[in-house]
Amino acid sequence: MESCRILFVDDDRDILVMVEQYLQMQQYDITTVDSGLKALDIVKDRDIDIIFTDYKMPEFNGLELLAAVKQHKPEIEVIMVTGYGSMESAIQAMKYGSYDYLQKPFKLDHLKLIIDRIVEEKKVKDKADLIRKRGRVRHKFHDLVGISPTMQQVYEMIETVGRTNPMVLIQGESGTGKELVARTIHQLSDRRDNAFVPVNCGSITEGIPEEEVLGHVTALMGKVHGGTIYLDEIAELAPSLRLSILQALEADYHQKQSATRVIAATGKELGEVIASGALKKDALDLLNAVVIRMPPLRERMEDLCLLMHHFLYQACTKQKRRVIAVSPDALDILMRYHWPGNLIQVQNVIDRALALGVDDAIQPDDLPAEIQTFSTISKMG
Rounded alpha-carbon distances, angstroms, from residue 216 to 11, 185, 244: 47, 24, 12
* Cα 363 from Cα 333, distance rounded (Å): 10
pLDDT of residue 16: 95
Taking residues 9-20, what's their average pLDDT? 94
Which band of pLDDT confidence, cut at 50, 70 and 90, is reported for residue 239? low
Judged against a pLDDT cut of 60, whether residue 277 lies above it is answered with no
* Cβ–Cβ < 8 Å for 105, 75: no
pLDDT of residue 44: 85
Which band of pLDDT confidence, cut at 50, 70 and 90, is reported for residue 337? very high
Taking residues 51-75, what's their average pLDDT? 88
Taking residues 208-233, what's their average pLDDT? 77
Which band of pLDDT confidence, cut at 50, 70 and 90, is reported for residue 201? confident
Q: What are the backbone angles phi and psi of residue 231, rounded to the nearest 5°?
A: -100, 95
Let me know whether 168 and 259 are in one domain: yes
Let me know whether 145 and 268 are in one domain: yes
Let me know whether 326 and 181 are in one domain: no
Single out the residue of 323, 256, 286, 348 nearest to residue 117, CA to CA: 286
pLDDT of residue 280: 53
* Collapsed DSSP state (helix, strand, coil) of residue 60: coil
* Cα 6 from Cα 19, distance rounded (Å): 11
pLDDT of residue 212: 76
Let me know whether 62 and 203 are in one domain: no
* Cβ–Cβ < 8 Å for 201, 232: yes
Let me know whether 321 and 287 are in one domain: no
pLDDT of residue 273: 62
Q: Give 160-190 pLDDT, tens digit per residue.
A: 887 666 678 899 999 999 999 999 999 998 8
Single out the residue of 254, 273, 270, 272 nearest to residue 262, CA to CA: 254
CA dihedral of residues 27, 29, 34, 38 (deg, nearest 10): 180
The residues pairing with 54 across neighbouring beta strands, listed in sequence order, are 81
Residue 23: which H helix or E strand, with range?
helix 13-25
| Lowest mean pLDDT across 83-87, 282-286, 308-312 | 282-286
Say which residues have a Cβ less than 8 Å from residue 308's Cβ, sequence separation at least 6. 326, 331, 334, 346, 350
* Cα 201 from Cα 211, distance rounded (Å): 15
Does 323 reside within a domain?
yes
Burial of 36 from C-beta contacts in 10 A (0-12 / 13-18 / 19+):
buried
Query: For the residues of 214-260, what is the DSSP string, one character each?
Result: HHHHHHHHHHHSSSEEEEETGGGS-HHHHHHHHHHHHHHHHH-TTPP
Let me know whether 258 and 128 are in one domain: yes
Say which residues have a Cβ less than 8 Å from residue 231's Cβ, sequence separation at least 6. 199, 201, 245, 262, 263, 264, 265
pLDDT of residue 322: 87
Let me know whether 291 and 307 are in one domain: no
Residue 174, domain extent: 117-295
> 342 versus 111: which is more confidently predicted?
342
Say which residues have a Cβ less than 8 Å from residue 193's Cβ, sequence separation at least 6. none
Output DSSP code: residue 75. Answer: T
Let me know whether 288 and 303 are in one domain: no
* Cα 96 from Cα 305, distance rounded (Å): 36
* Cβ–Cβ < 8 Å for 258, 226: yes
* Cα 361 from Cα 327, distance rounded (Å): 6
Let me know whether 313 and 282 are in one domain: no
Let me know whether 19 and 121 are in one domain: no
* Cβ–Cβ < 8 Å for 320, 153: no
Pairing of strands 228-232, 196-200: parallel
* Cβ–Cβ < 8 Å for 229, 249: yes
Which band of pLDDT confidence, cut at 50, 70 and 90, is reported for residue 1? very low
Q: Which long-range contacts (CB under 8 A, 24 or more apart) does 331-335 make?
A: 331/305, 332/375, 333/364, 333/367, 333/371, 333/372, 333/375, 334/304, 334/308, 334/367, 334/371, 335/301, 335/304
pLDDT exceeding 70 applies to what percent of the chain? 81
Does 112 reside within a domain?
no
Let me know whether 221 and 312 are in one domain: no
- Domain end residue (candidates: 295, 317, 332): 295
Judged against a pLDDT cut of 80, whether residue 18 lies above it is answered with yes
pLDDT exceeding 90 applies to what percent of the chain? 37
* Collapsed DSSP state (helix, strand, coil) of residue 188: helix
Mean pLDDT of the chain: 83
- Domain end residue (candidates: 253, 275, 295): 295
Let me know whether 172 and 287 are in one domain: yes
Q: Give 141-164 pLDDT, tens digit per residue.
A: 999 999 998 998 899 889 888 766
Pairing of strands 261-266, 168-171: parallel
What's the domain count of the chain? 3
Which band of pLDDT confidence, cut at 50, 70 and 90, is reported for residue 254? low
Provide the CATH number for the domain around residue 367: 1.10.8.60
Judged against a pLDDT cut of 80, whether residue 87 lies above it is answered with no
Does 111 reside within a domain?
no
* Cα 305 from Cα 335, distance rounded (Å): 9
